[in-house]
Amino acid sequence: MIKANLNNLNFDIDFDDKQYQQGKINDTSFVIDRVKSSATHWHILKNGKSYNIEILKVDKIGKQVDLKLNGKLNSIKITDQFDALLKSLGMDSLAAKKVLELKAPMPGLVLNIAVNEGDTIAKGDAILILEAMKMENIIKSPTAGVIKKIHAVKGNAVEKNQLLISFQ
């Protein structure tokens, strides 16, 4: 059984076949027909209803898929029986790697710093803007945590892999 969370709605999915075309969602039977129209686009018929799906991003480690379902953005978080086992044993947080530093992904000029030391941030929050090759790049936090020290200085140039931010 797979558990899926789509926009804060939980679904229990149990497939009856290895092609993932029939089974039950929350104890309601389903059968789907699917056609792959490109590497990221699918057309699905489920119980007589038509759905167009565009897969935007797949995070295999975090078990999350970002997609457009009939043009609407959605994010699906998936857990399986192994995740449930790890959680029951209290080992579910062992896979989470704590990031302690943010380094410059490329050489550039620090245009703006959006955080202060001591700020609490979430994963994906904008940290700073780095200009490289006449493009402004928003550098986002790779982790949730607290800003320990800001090593970058607004207006200064940085080299690739130069330490920008330290996290607690």
Type of residue numbered 143: T
Half-sphere exposure of 93 (CA within 13 A, CB side): 2
Mean per-residue pLDDT for 82-94? 75
Checking if the pLDDT of 34 tops 90, the result is: yes
Tell me the backbone φ, ψ of residue 83, rounded to 5 degrees. -65, -40
> Is CATH 2.40.50.100 correct for 101-167?
yes
Same fold, 2-88 and 101-167: no
Torsion angle of alpha carbons 16, 17, 19, 25, nearest 10°?
Answer: 0
Q: What pTM did the predictor assign?
A: 0.51
Checking if the pLDDT of 93 tops 70, the result is: no
Checking if the pLDDT of 55 tops 60, the result is: yes
Q: Is 151 helix (H, G, I), strand (E, B) or coil?
A: coil
Query: Which one of 3.40.50.2300, 3.30.700.30, 3.50.50.60, 3.90.1660.10 gives the CATH number of domain 2-88?
Result: 3.30.700.30
Q: Is the separation of the CB atoms in 76 and 64 below 8 Å?
A: yes
- Edge-to-edge strand list for the sheet holding 163-167: 101-103, 163-167, 145-150, 120-121
Residue pLDDT, tens place only, 111-162: 999 999 999 998 889 999 999 988 999 999 988 889 999 999 999 999 999 9
CA distances, 95 to each of 35, 91, 92, 103 (Å): 35, 8, 7, 22
Q: What pLDDT shows up at residue 123?
A: 87
The domain limits of the chain are 2-88, 101-167
Place of tokens 């780095």: 130
Q: Kind and range of the H or E element at 135?
A: strand 135-140
